Amino acid sequence: EVQLVESGGGLVQPGGSLRLSCAASGFTFSLYNMHWVRQAPGKGLEWVSYISNSDTVYYADSVKGRFTISRDDAKNSLYLQMNSLRAEDTAVYYCARSIGWLDPWGQGTLVTVSS
């Protein structure tokens, strides 16, 4: 079964850092491009970042310069390093496999930025 499981969310103070992880199983992770998508409380989905299977990366303007996406194909894992966190970064963060469209998605991990 193709599965993605996020971890690493939690409460962090404004200006702090957090690293999210996404563990992949059930498919050959190294062959696929991957995404991070977030949903703030009461808001819609927002695409955050993309990494190709050859490490080409893209970011939404809202996180550019603060977030870094990476992957470790040997560990079948995707990461999102989040620095200089702001209150508006509070959201559930999802990882998703890219097959053009996004499928599947993980269940998400909650990041709360608050003092």
Letters for 50-69 (x = contact with another protein by CB under 8 A, - = none) are x-------x-----------
Regarding 102 and contact with another protein (CB under 8 A), the answer is yes
Regarding 71 and contact with another protein (CB under 8 A), the answer is no
Cβ-based neighbour number of residue 4 at 10 Å: 23
What's the CA dihedral at 42, 8, 27, 40 to 10 degrees? 10
* Binding segment (CB under 8 A) for another protein, from list 8-16, 18-26, 70-78, 105-113: 105-113
Regarding 97 and contact with another protein (CB under 8 A), the answer is no
Buried b / exposed e over 56-90, threshold 16 CB at 10 Å, is eeebeeebeeebbbebeeeebbbbbebeebeeebb
Give me the least distance between CB of 61 and another protein, in Å please: 9
Bridge partners of 43, per DSSP, are: none
Interface residue list for another protein (CB under 8 A): 4, 35, 37, 39, 44-47, 50, 58, 94, 96, 98, 100-108
